[in-house]
Amino acid sequence: MIDWEAVRAEVTGYLQGLIRIDTTNPPGNETLAARYLEEILQKEGLQPTLVESEPGRGNVLARLAGGGEKTLMLLGHTDVVAVESEHWTHPPFSGALIDDYVWGRGALDMKNMVAANLMVFLLLKRQEVSLARDIVFAATADEEAGKGNHGPGWILDHRPELWDAPLIITEGGGSDFSVGDQRFYTCQTGQKGLCRLRVIARGTPGHGSMPHGNNAILKLSKALAGLEGAVLPAHICGSVRKFVEGIAEQRPEAEAATWRQVLDEAHCDEALAALPIDEEWRRELGAVLRNTASVTMLQSGSKINVIPGEATAWVDGRLAPGQTQESFVAELRAFIGEEVEIAIDQYTPPLEADADTELFRVIQTVMGEREPGVPVLPYLMPAGTDAKHIMPRRPETQIYGFMPYRQKPGEEEMKLIHGHDERTAVEELLFATRVLYEVVSRFASVD
């Protein structure tokens, strides 16, 4: 029998310990967190491996040996985004425990899951669970810095023998949400791709005193104006289909019909507008139905009296599963025209895991027992996680984002991610630890 009250104190202590280590990326300094975890694992009689891609950028992995079934990895990143400490109620690296909340940067993204993963891993060892597969604990560097590659990508390139994990549970899903009075959980099964590009207009340089008809800035402006109110075509992937159908199944008939109509690519936007959900969610749902393009930066000219020869805008493009950079650029052209050049700077393909697997079903079963009547739905995330470093190198990997969290009505803690006053309820940290332990031990133990 596991003493869950003792686990509550232990896992809370791990989260506080991790938050007190400043791993703001850049520069990261994740080795400090990796050492902290390494020491805990060693004390437990395990043999963790600490690897650095360069000094300070540490990753720690440990393995529990089991039978020959596919290895399952519990993956978390130890770096965090920067803080503006003057806006925090309690210092962001204090790990303060106040009214059963642990405060600090990383409390939700994602030192909480690193602590829960560690706890699950230690419990499997202590309970001497007989395993049909290896379980790997991995706490890695450099998720938060855009192109960063000091974490999973680096390990796969330089120490692949440490990885070997065709199944992964990590961040990106697991929180609950409500439609009317019906609650649901997400389990992330996909994420959108990235296609970051520049739109470049070229014109004739000249003196500001003598306008001509070939001004680069005006040409660029005309192209960008085409994006005003632009709605790119819908491409609805399997994860979004299952998500929307799962909601529809639980709703009264008239409303369910509107949900189902969201899956009709020709009429999804009318249906979306009619759904009884808040505007923020409507925007998110709109974004997962299609590719999106946001103009985020502009540059041209250097002097008031000089007509520049070139003008550039940067576009942050996000791709739905099944889409490619070519298909995205073709869609974009329909709005911005042919008068400008397009140069792609960064491309990460969209990802989607199979929701029809044993692991996904175990997640659904365990949650169904803990919270009867609250379905777990596949979910497509509009942004990305470390999966973007893994899938290009190991395309057969099934990655699920699942860190259970019951949000308090009116609090919506998930909105604190990357913001001020990030904090996590101890009750939810324990809840996640129990659910994850149940999922992993059930999925991995020899029956």
Q: Which of 79, 109, 171, 352 is labelled catalytic?
A: 79
Residues 407/140, Cβ–Cβ less than 8 Å? no
For the bound state, the minimum distance from the C-beta of residue 81 to Zn ion, rounded and expressed in Å, comes to 9
Cβ-proximal residues to 93 (8 Å cutoff; 6+ apart), any chain? 19, 20, 21, 22, 83, 104, 105
- The residue among 143 and 331 lying less far from Zn ion, judged by its C-beta, is 143
- 61 lines the binding site for Zn ion (CB under 5 A): no
Which residue stretch of 103-111, 204-212, 267-275, 370-378 sits at the interface with Zn ion (rule: CB under 5 A)? Answer: 103-111
Which residue stretch of 32-40, 102-110, 160-168, 179-187 sits at the interface with Zn ion (rule: CB under 5 A)? Answer: 102-110
- 142 lines the binding site for Zn ion (CB under 5 A): no
DSSP labels, 261-291? HTT-TTTHHHHHHHSSS-HHHHHHHHHHTB-
- The residue among 134 and 171 lying less far from Zn ion, judged by its C-beta, is 171
Unique residue bearing structure tokens 């649901």: 184
Phi, psi of 420 (to 5 degrees): -85, 155
Report whether the peptide linkage leading into residue 27 is cis, meaning its omega lies within 30 degrees of zero: yes
**Number of residues in contact with Zn ion under rule CB under 5 A:** 3
144 is catalytic: no
Which residue stretch of 84-92, 108-116, 218-226, 393-401 sits at the interface with Zn ion (rule: CB under 5 A)? Answer: 108-116
- 386 lines the binding site for Zn ion (CB under 5 A): no
79 is catalytic: yes
CA distances from 329 to 296, 299, 362 (A): 17, 21, 40
Unique residue bearing structure tokens 């790119």: 232
- The residue among 109 and 352 lying less far from Zn ion, judged by its C-beta, is 109
Site for Zn ion in 407-446 (CB under 5 A): none
Site for Zn ion in 64-93 (CB under 5 A): none
Report whether the peptide linkage leading into residue 26 is cis, meaning its omega lies within 30 degrees of zero: yes
- 109 lines the binding site for Zn ion (CB under 5 A): yes
Site for Zn ion in 162-201 (CB under 5 A): 171
- 110 lines the binding site for Zn ion (CB under 5 A): yes
Catalytic annotation, residues: 79, 143
Residues forming the site for Zn ion (CB under 5 A): 109-110, 171
